[in-house]
Structure 1
């Protein structure tokens, strides 16, 4: 028996109402036959059968709510019942010596590995790298695949030893939580032909990594605008979503699958050939024409993973938090000199000493004087929560996009310990392998834009924090000393963004002065250390 899980219908929809069942329990169904109509908050959606078989159970009643990635109905695929009957008859007729042992009953049977719930409400992730290939042996807890959520890179390991029979989701494609990720034959099963025979692909679902299945002899390779047995162009929900994203009509796309089924490859090939509606084509090409690029094509890249999450968070922060900016200059001459003196000691501990540990330690000390900078508003915005630990985040331009891991409990760590944590987090962020624990719980953030050459920036607060500072590059500039003489000083610009619901200009100015004092005379930090 196979459980049909409600697929991702798109646009962030997580549930829908069952409006009408087109079948009953016990009914036979055909591939692409309409099974149920569901109503989202956008439209009425028709769900079709993925393959031929017989319905065994309807999990959600008419008028009830169905959840995305949760079982919607169960069915017995065509051939399963006959196979089960044949197996039962053979077992009944077998002599005692011929009766197979219970543990051998499933030899050669491939098992689907279902992508587990990764937490934080994540419903999908991108496959970044497969560590194994079809037909390859795997050991228990062996890393199998790296996936990227909108939070961080996650490594998926094998639940048991065996042999991979099929990779259901190709590299760069989207895997759904609670959906099959790959299939494998457990150790002890029939390994012969495990890559193919143990887990045969249904005719209606060719491997995403291989070519489309061949058509019958003499039949055309593709049927333009083909229709299935139920008078509709066959296509999966994911393909229909892709068609909508490109403003196409499903009926216009040649389908290379069974009964003219439109596959993802068909849609991409159709787009690459430039066979798009005239209106959509003109709209897409308008920017290029306006820029004078002539016949250039618009390259479309899906917004995924960390970049997609950052976009949503920044829009939410910028539109829901009243920002105000505050700028200052810091004389970092003494700080640079101190760092140069301490670098050999840090290198002896295999630690790279940058200016960031000093920024963080000085900030933690200043927060002791101004704890409002280490607080946050509750959701109702009627309470201020003062946080017990100073977890300072740092923006890192990583492999997967901008990440803001944070150093936990900076107020309790030594300067060297802070530097070691920064080194660890920076390395992991640049490889896109930061854990969710390192990305959560931040209380205030630093963006060192100066490392890339910027002088000024107007940062956006990393909600629900109440402040963030952007540090510009350090420049050697002329300044007057106490005697009125012009001297060469290392000047660094900083720009703060604050949540005006909690803090005002006077508060941020006094806090910045305290922080600046520790940085301009770093030896004074010794007086405040505990």
Structure 2
């Protein structure tokens, strides 16, 4: 019998109410068949069956509260009708491939009893996300796990997500290789819980003392452990090179192989000192391990003229779909302007020490955002959106200004919520947080949702002009070019040195016209060219 545990059904949701059971105890179920409807504090969610079988028990009655990660219902998988009726988690492996039917070894060499290996099921990691790409495994098969230890980094079409271990134990299998696609609600990796491994080892030792085997099948002969001389590299008593998870991670960070490093510990265990000695050139390679070729000796990966193919996935794939939809469904028009930011640069220089004293980096972006939020008060059409039928204008209650960030996962547009109510220092602090997270590809879903207007600071990379594409369903976006010191005439007709910044707007021509953009840009420009005037508008 398998226990189905209520998965993560939304960010920050820890419980929900059972609204309606679609099945009863004893009913047969098919894979993906609706089983129960639950109500969170945000929406009604339908839970489906993970596989074909028969319902044996409903743990939570209609109208009661179900906890995330707690058993919701029990079922008997198809083909296991004669199996013992023991309670197992929904992540327990029901059947195993012939080559994997042998019970995994526990850390002390004893075999873990069958049925104690658990599959970690990839939970819901974002609204509407059904699959993700495995970017990096932080562990290898055979390594031990601590509760909440990072196990794997996966990339959705929105952000990088770090998956952690649900409990302490030992990894027995990685179901999805690096670079491949993992499905939500499908097994991601298998592990033996720490308690189960300890119990398995105790049972094995008790059976050994009693001189009898608890298994019905003949006991396989156990080969004698290989003798490994101190200071040499060996496979150890468990058929693999002994090394702690920390050492294995260090080996991966230096792009080495354990087989190349001589272990000075017991049974040839590779220690941290062995790795560092090898890196520094003091270590010696194992005689059995072939030397790795020097980088210059590596043959070229591709022949001249050969096309290298790389799948479009994750954030870049999402951006491609978003930009195609925006450019093909929204009639864009552009509007350009020059802004004199000489006074703004001087003001920022005066305020920077105060911001740094509060551990905040003060750039020009907080000024751009604050001035925009003030200008929107007089031009609310810039902070609105059309409904799907394009027959209603929805004026948004808050000014959530997005900023395009070029991170390692691709282009992301997190937004600062409620800029009109925040202080300049608060906006700067939030920009600093969002920029750091976006560059690491780890922005929370809440920070990517509900943007109302966007800024693309292409000038930070050196661009002067750009024609940005609107971040739908928003109605406008502005691209900011780099600031340049250029000659300009002052009021007396004399040539003077001024800091000039170019901006280019893109507007949704279904809702905005050139006059609206021009008047709004003039108001925004006024705040930036004379930044002290913003003080008059602050509440």
CA contact (8 A) 2:169 2:197 kept: no
SS at match of 1:428: helix
Aligned to 1:394: 403
Query: 1:325 aligns to what SS in structure 2?
Result: strand
**How many Å separate the matches in 1 of 2:381 and 2:77?**
61
For the residues of structure 2 that align with 1:72 and 1:184, how far apart are their CA atoms?
Answer: 21
How far the C-alpha of 1:356 sits from its partner, in A, is: 0.3
Cα pair distance change 1:522/1:454, threshold 3 Å: same
Q: Which residue of 2 aligns with 1:513?
A: 522
Greater shift in the superposed pair: 155-164 or 355-364 = 155-164
Matching residue of 1:356: 365
Corresponding residue for residue 118 of structure 2: 111
Report the secondary structure of 1:411's partner residue. helix
Please list the CA deviations of residues 17-36 of structure 1 after superposition, one character each: whole Å capped at 9, or x if unmatched.
xxxxxxxxxxxxxxxxxxxx
* Mapped contact 2:176–2:182 kept (Cα < 8 A): yes
SS of residue in 2 equivalent to 1:476: strand
Distance 1:191 1:145 in 2: 25
Q: CA deviation at 1:147?
A: 1.1
- The match for 1:472 among 475, 481, 489 is 481
Deviations 1:319-368 (A, max 9, x none): 01111100000001000111111111111111111100000000000001
Question: Residue 446 in 1 paired to residue 480 in 2?
Answer: no
Mapping for residues 111-510 of structure 1, pairs under 5 Å? 111-190=118-197, 295-510=304-519
Quick check: 2:400–2:452 contact (8 Å CA) kept in 1?
yes
Contact kept in structure 1, 2:475 and 2:511, CA below 8 Å: yes
Other structure's SS at 2:389 match: coil
Distance 1:437 1:389 in 2: 15
Is the Cα contact below 8 Å between 2:484 and 2:500 reproduced in 1?
A: yes
**Local SS of the residue matching 2:348:** helix
Query: Secondary structure at 1:190's aligned position in 2?
Result: helix
Secondary structure in 2 matching 1:188: helix
Alignment CA distance shift 1:323-1:84 (3 Å): same
Task: Find the counterpart in structure 2 of residue 245 from structure 1.
Answer: none
Q: Take 1:308 and 1:298, find their aligned partners in 2: how far apart are those partners?
A: 20
| SS of 2:196 mapped into structure 1 | coil
Distance change >3 Å, CA 183–CA 391, structure 1 → 2: same
* Distance across 1 between alignment mates of 2:170 and 2:374: 55
Instruction: Tell me: CA distance 1:109–1:473, structure 2 relative to 1, closer, same or farther (3 Å).
Output: same
Number of corresponding residues: 359
Q: 1:483 to 1:149 in 2, by over 3 A?
A: same
- Which digits, 9 at most, give the CA deviation of each residue in 1:33-65, with x for residues without a partner? xxxxxxxxxxxxxxxxxxxxxxx975589xxxx
Q: Which ranges in structure 1 are unaligned for 5 or more consecutive residues?
A: 4-55, 62-66, 86-104, 195-273, 275-292
Aligned counterparts of 1:448 and 1:479: Cα–Cα separation in 2: 24
Query: Separation in 1 of the partners of 2:417 and 2:525?
Result: 22
Gaps of 5+ in 2: 4-27, 34-45, 55-75, 86-111, 202-300
The CA deviation at 1:118 is 2.0
TM-score computed with the length of structure 2 as normaliser:
0.62
Please report the RMSD computed on the Cα atoms of aligned residues, expressed in angstroms.
Answer: 3.2
Cα distance between partner residues in 2 of 1:111 and 1:77 = 16
1: distance between equivalents of 2:425 and 2:30?
60
1:23-34 aligned at under 5 Å gives the runs none
| TM-score, normalised via structure 1 length | 0.63
Distance 1:386 1:77, change over 3 A: closer
Aligned to 1:369, what secondary structure does the other structure show? coil
CA contact (8 A) 2:51 2:77 kept: no
Describe how 1:81-92 pairs up with structure 2 within 5 A: none
Once the 2 structures are TM-superposed, how far is the Cα of residue 187 of structure 1 from its aligned partner? 2.4
Tell me, yes or no, if the aligned pair for 1:153 and 1:435 is still in contact at 8 Å: no
8 A contact 1:397–1:430 mirrored in 2: yes
